[in-house]
Amino acid sequence: MADSNGLPVTLYTPDSSLASPATLLRQMLGDLAGSRELAWRLAVRDISAQYRQAILGILWAFILPIANTLTWIFLNGSGVVAVGDTALPYPIYVFTGTMLWAIFMDALNAPLQQTTAAKAMLAKLNFPREALILSGIYQTLFNAGIKIALLLAVLLWLGVYPDWSLLLFPIGILSLILVGTAIGLLLTPVGILYTDIGRGLPLVLQFLMYVTPVVFPMPKEGLAATLFNLNPLTSVIVTTRDWLTAQPTGLLGAFLLVNLVTVVLLLVVWVVYRLAMPILIERMSA
C-alpha cells in the first residue's frame, strides 16, 4: 500500500497475521527484499569495526579453527586421545572439519548476536527486522570466504587435489549456513529475553561437535554411533568434506533430507521471529 506521494504505508490492525497466511508470506518476502541494502550497510559496518579494532585483524577469521586443529593433531599424535582411523590423513580430516564447523557456528551465532547488538536501534526505529538476519548471513559468508581460501591453499600444499565435486562444495557451505541460521533464528527470541541462552550455547556446541564427524570419525557401534547417526549435522559435514576432498559421498540422501527439513524449519521460525519481535521490543523498551 502507498500514499498519494508513492511512499509505502504500513497498516496495523488487531487481527493476527496468521489469519491470512498468503498476505503474511507476501509481507515477509517484501520485507526481505526491501532490507537488502540496509543489511549490506550493517554488514560492512560491522565487518570493518570487527577487524579494524583487532591487532591481528582479519587473521581472527581462522586463528581459532587453526588452533583447534593443532590441538587435536597434538592430542592424537601424542596418544593422549585415540581418535581412530579416518578416510583422510588425520591432519587434513581435522583441519577441514574444524573449518567447516567454524562456518556453521558463525551462522548459528549470527541471528542472536545481530539482534542483541541492535537493541537500541530496534527500540527507536521501525525497519524490516529481516535486515539483521541478512546482515548476519552476509558477515558469515565473508568470513567463510576467508576460511575457504585458506582451506583450499592448505589442501593443495598437502597434496590433496579436488576434482569435479568441488563444484558442489559451495552447496555444502550454503547448507551449513542454512542449518546454522535456522537454529540460531529459533533460539533468538528466547535468547533476547534470557541471557542464559547466549552463555550456555558454547557448551552445547562443544558437546555437539564431539558427536559430529569434525575431529572424530564415525563410530561403528555403540551409543556414540547412534548419536552420530541421529545428528543431522553429520550428513552435512561429511558430504561437504567429501565434495571438497574428492571422496566418495555416502550420505547424500540424508544431506538432501536435512536441507529439506531445514527449509521448512527456517520458514516456521521466521514467522515466529516476526510475531515475537514486537513483543520483545516492547519488553526491551520497558
235-273 residue pLDDT tens: 999 999 999 988 888 889 999 999 999 999 999 998 888
- Non-local CB neighbours of 126 within 8 Å, separated by 6+ positions: 10
Residue 18 burial (10 A CB sphere; 0-12, 13-18, 19+): exposed
Read out DSSP for 84-106? ---SS-HHHHHHHHHHHHHHHHH
Closest among 114, 165, 163, 169 to 144, alpha carbons compared: 169
**Is 155 contained in some domain?**
yes
Contact 20, 14 (CB under 8 A): no
**Cell matching residue 155:** 589442501
In a domain, 194, yes or no: yes
Q: Has residue 9 been placed in a domain?
A: no
For residue 2, the model assigns a pLDDT of 46
Domain assignment of residue 143, given as a range: 24-285
- In this prediction, the residues of the chain whose per-residue pLDDT falls under 70 are 1-22, 51-63, 72, 75-84, 284-286
CB 274 within 8 A of CB 116: no
- Tell me which amino acid residue 87 is: A
15 lies in some domain: no
| Exposed/middle/buried for residue 4 (C-beta within 10 Å: 0-12, 13-18, 19+) | exposed
Q: What's the N-to-C CA distance of the chain in angstroms?
A: 31
Residue 19 belongs to a domain: no
Q: What is the pLDDT of residue 130?
A: 85
CA distance 201 to 190: 12
**Looking at the 3D structure of the chain, how many domains does it have?**
1
Q: Which three cell numbers stand for residue 125?
A: 526505529
Place of cell 590433496: 160
Q: What is the pLDDT of residue 62?
A: 63
Class of residue 212 by CB neighbours under 10 A (exposed 0-12, middle 13-18, buried 19+): buried
Radius of gyration of the chain (CA): 21
Which of 37, 266, 240 lies closest to 144, judged by CA? Answer: 240
Whole-number pLDDT of residue 56: 54
Q: How far apart are CA 44 and CA 249, in angstroms?
A: 36
Residue 174 included in any domain: yes
CA distances from 71 to 65, 148, 210, 226 (A): 10, 20, 14, 26
Is residue 60 in some structural domain? Answer: yes
Does 32 fall in a domain?
A: yes
Residue 68 has a pLDDT of 72
| Local structure of 251: helix, strand or coil | coil
Kindly report, residue by residue over 79-111, the tens digit of the pLDDT.
666 666 777 888 888 888 988 998 999 999 999
